[in-house]
Amino acid sequence: MARGINTKCTNLEEDEQSVKNYGAISYPIYQTATYAHMGVGRSTGFDYSRLQNPTREQLEKVVASLENGIDAIAFSTGMAAITMMMELFKPGDHLIVDSDLYGGSIRLFHNVSAKNGIEFSSVDCYKEDVESFVKENTKAIYIETPTNPMMNVTDIAAMAEIARRHDLLLIVDNTFLSPYFQNPLDLGADIVVHSGTKYLGGHNDTLAGFLVTNREDISEKFRFLIKTVGSGLAPFDSWLILRGIKTLGIRMERSQENAKQIAGWLKQQKAVTKVIYPGLEEHPGHEIMKKQARGFGAMLTFQLESKEFALSILEKVRMIKFAESLGGVETLVTYPTTQTHADVPKEIREKNGITEATLRMSVGIEDAKDLIDELEKVFRETEQELYGGKKS
């Protein structure tokens, strides 16, 4: 019988494994680099931890099951996962990539992969005619949905159709929603990317990345590559992510609930010119999200009326932390201009709508009232300082 996602987060179906481990409920950390053989040709199935390690393997099985994939590979970071994935392509290949992506992915594509002879077209996949960018040498479409940080929502099934028609891979970075809210492989994607540092880990205490696929041929290529490039996740970090995943469902629900309340509060502020949260009915991607995801997540972006207002918020927050990253239990507010998207050229940032008055918030699981109380205080103090109470 198919298990629900919260059960999948806490239990793998193969109970035999836990019996093998003396019944330990918490999967053991196999802190070993290598493995003894009882004779020639008698491997335990594990030979060297660059190739595979039992703790990492356990985590990979859990993530594959959450994404309904046949294989998942755990990496030291999300960027390590994306970097290895780029080894599927060769000089002369062309990729269609969303224009609004995590800044590190943009940096990798345009400053590293391009140097290796791979061509890119940056396309607003949520609104442009993606098919018109397909060329003879196009090999893949790469999207995030919602995007980081502008929260653009792309129709995954529509992208999958284009990919099928032209024999392209569809690659979806699912970091912002996590497998709890969205499963791109079920909608026709071939590869799912995660920064496991975010919701999967969930506690802002370790880094990780994942590639998940439901295709045997891609899984085989990934397995060859991981043993070759060696950027797999270490045993202790694998255990931390395994532990984080156990509470994925309740964290996602709780932080989404808080995000809805904060989005509502922000909308009432005169100093906020725009709140971009797909859970709001006016968000252009709201209906698509309802169709392709089970929730709207806990990431939101908002525009302040001035750079000064935005900077003042960053200076004043205390319980809410001014920090990069997202997806942890703590609420973080990020300044894309100097943090996550600092290396994206200013003209591209501006084209995507990221200005010096844009803030991104990853809403955590604290009490919503405390978060709103702090925002209330920070906004009122800023208004007082900037306008002497005259305007807001």
Ligand X SMILES: Cc1ncc(COP(=O)(O)O)c(C=O)c1O
Told to check if 301 binds ligand X by CB under 6 A, we report: no
Count of residues near ligand X by CB under 6 A: 14
List the catalytic residue out of 100, 173, 190, 237: 173
Using the rule CB under 6 A, give the single segment among 44-52, 77-85, 248-256, 348-356 that binds ligand X.
77-85
Pick the binder of ligand X from 179, 209, 232, 279 (CB under 6 A): 209
Using the rule CB under 6 A, give the single segment among 59-67, 71-79, 245-253, 315-323 that binds ligand X.
71-79
Crossing angle of the two packed helices 248-267 and 368-387, in degrees rounded to 10: 30
Annotation marks residue 198 as catalytic: yes
List the catalytic residue out of 198, 251, 254, 360: 198
Smallest distance, ligand X to C-beta of residue 144, A = 5
Pick the binder of ligand X from 93, 144, 155, 383 (CB under 6 A): 144
Using the rule CB under 6 A, give the single segment among 72-80, 110-118, 160-168, 267-275 that binds ligand X.
72-80
Which regions of the chain does DSSP assign to beta strands (E)?
71-75, 94-98, 119-123, 138-144, 169-173, 191-195, 209-213, 272-276, 299-304, 321-322, 332-334, 358-362
Told to check if 206 binds ligand X by CB under 6 A, we report: no
Told to check if 202 binds ligand X by CB under 6 A, we report: no
Told to check if 98 binds ligand X by CB under 6 A, we report: no
Q: Judging by DSSP bridges, how do beta strands 71-75 and 332-334 pair with one another?
A: unpaired
Pick the binder of ligand X from 195, 214, 303, 312 (CB under 6 A): 195
Pick the binder of ligand X from 49, 175, 214, 352 (CB under 6 A): 175
Q: Are 85 and 191 in contact (CB under 8 A)?
A: yes
Nearer to ligand X, 55 or 148 (CB): 148
Residue whose Cβ sits closest to ligand X: 78
Annotation marks residue 50 as catalytic: yes
Told to check if 99 binds ligand X by CB under 6 A, we report: no
Crossing angle of the two packed helices 216-229 and 78-85, in degrees rounded to 10: 110
Nearer to ligand X, 184 or 309 (CB): 184
Phi then psi dihedrals of residue 170, to 5 deg:
-105, 120
Q: For the chain, report the end-to-end CA distance as a whole number of angstroms.
A: 57
Told to check if 79 binds ligand X by CB under 6 A, we report: yes
Told to check if 173 binds ligand X by CB under 6 A, we report: yes
Residue with tokens 């994939």: 69
Q: How many Cβ atoms sit within 10 Å of the Cβ of residue 260?
A: 18
Told to check if 60 binds ligand X by CB under 6 A, we report: no
Sign of the dihedral through C-alpha 184, 185, 191, 195: positive
Smallest distance, ligand X to C-beta of residue 195, A = 3
Annotation marks residue 217 as catalytic: no
Annotation marks residue 48 as catalytic: no
| Gap between the Cα atoms of 275 and 2, Å rounded | 38
Q: Are 210 and 193 in contact (CB under 8 A)?
A: yes
| Gap between the Cα atoms of 302 and 358, Å rounded | 6
The SS3 assignment for 338 reads: coil
Told to check if 238 binds ligand X by CB under 6 A, we report: no
Tokens representing 178 are: 């996590």
Catalytic residues: 50, 102, 173, 198
Binding footprint of ligand X on the chain (CB under 6 A): 77-79, 102, 104-105, 144, 148, 173, 175, 195, 197, 207, 209
